[in-house]
Amino acid sequence: MNKPITAIIVGAGHRSLIYARYAFTHPDRLRIVGIADPDAERRKMGQEMFNLPDSMLFENAASLAARGKLADAVINGTMDQQHVETAIPLLAAGYDMLLEKPFALTETELRALVEAVRRYNRKVMICHVLRYAPFYAEIRRRLPLLGKIQGIETTEHVSHHHMLVGYVRGKWRNTAMAGHHSMLLAKCCHDIDLIMWMKSGVAPVRVSSFGGMQQFRPENAPAGAGERCLVDCPAQVEADCPFSARKQYLEHPDRWTFYVWRDLENVKEPTLEQKAALLRRSDYGRCAYKMDTEVVDNQTVIIQFADGSIASHNMLSGTPVPQRSIHITGERGEITGKVDDSRFVLRVLDPHSTDEYREEIMDLNVLSGDTSGMSGGHAGGDERLVHDFVSVLLGETPSISCTSIMDSVAGHMTVFCADRAMETGSVVEIPALQVQ
């Protein structure tokens, strides 16, 4: 029996802790042995969660790297702009790494990190968790039935409450907060990665893109709206606004708690009064129309591949229901479905049948054969991602979804170029990057 992989959390935020909880359900495969985070409360919380000694608590990635290799791997869930600067010293210290997406914010950062992975010969997997959702993994397994892939269409509808909490009022709303102001990079790099994965190694060569911020602009604010929903917004204006902090957060106090109530983490069972007091001073209590938001709320991306095939991605926000969908067409058929339904339809051409095609409905809600017992966020992808990472480090065969950093390069390069295309109104050539 192999010993469990030991790992240290770097950046003890929401995503890292979700991945680290795999150690609770699979203690024979993963053990958390340390935490590095500048926030003393986060370190204390993690220490209690994983029963860690004081000697395995670190203020940052640099202090951890300075100690040399103390575990097999690192779960790096730092903020986007910190990924490369924290990753390279830890790779040099000998750690393999599970790294949150996006793994780089620019082409220069991307090349620097890829070079470090090669130089230190480390294993780095990127948290493109949707690859691990049974919905997408089952589609990927069936792609050979379609023949050559000729077109891919993906869509993401970002719900109004997700858009507000993460990208209008939240920490991904502008460059000062996140190190970038790309909605495509922060939210839709999953979707672009899925497109690259479905194309199975065919290089993207050029991209165009269009988008902008339509809704949450100062000129669209209700007449007489204040700067803060619970402080200076007239009662009737606030009552009529579906996006007020009161409706978004006080009336739904258990939604997005890890963002909205972050400053109350050290308070056991905070009251609504305490939450209201926090909203009066935090960014989540500001008028959604008067934020310093730089991201777009709608964007379309069109990608051409080296084999002439085309893919598109549409991101639209403000929808009542979050939803991702995909439609893949090939020479011999098509696959279409919605991930939130956990159901897709496969149609294969059959000139001998009455309809001239055969149809198979794959309902993942009743699909047999998954005995792992794994579930969780991102349509079941979160825990499967960590399972695959541990498998790679244990020398086991990885799954079809494996997200080596080298597998993620094309998606990131496409995102960088798509944003440049949107900003310049041009078609941008995607530079090739040798990853072997």
Q: Count the residues in the chain.
A: 436
Q: Spell out the CATH class of 130-160+167-213+295-366+404-429.
A: alpha beta
pTM: 0.93
Does residue 320 surpass a pLDDT of 90? yes
CA-based angle 27:29:35, to the nearest 5?
70
Does residue 364 surpass a pLDDT of 90? no
- Residue 265: the pLDDT is 86
- Residue 376: the pLDDT is 52
- Joined together, the tokens standing for residue 412 give 């990131």
* 48 C-beta neighbours (distance < 10 Å), count: 9
Query: Using one digit for the tens of pLDDT, what is the confidence trace for 369-413?
Result: 443 434 455 567 889 999 999 999 999 999 999 988 988 999 999
Does residue 270 surpass a pLDDT of 90? yes
**Which of the pair, 414 or 404, is modelled with greater confidence?**
414
Q: Given CA atoms 13, 19, 24, 30 in this order, what sign does their dihedral have? A: negative
Does residue 239 surpass a pLDDT of 80? yes
**pLDDT-derived band at 2, boundaries 50, 70, 90:** confident
Residues 6+ apart with CB under 8 A from 366: none
Query: Using one digit for the tens of pLDDT, what is the confidence trace for 45-104?
Result: 999 999 999 999 999 999 999 999 999 999 999 999 999 999 999 999 999 999 999 999
Residues 6+ apart with CB under 8 A from 117: 91, 124, 405, 406
Q: Does domain 5-100 have CATH number 3.40.50.720?
A: yes
Confirm if 104 and 128 have CB atoms less than 8 A apart. Answer: no
| Closest to 401 in 3D by CA, of 414, 385, 377 | 385
Name the β-bridge partners of 334.
329, 347
**Which of the pair, 192 or 372, is modelled with greater confidence?**
192
What are the residue ranges spanned by the domains of the chain?
Answer: 5-100, 130-160+167-213+295-366+404-429, 218-290
| Closest to 42 in 3D by CA, of 14, 12, 18 | 12
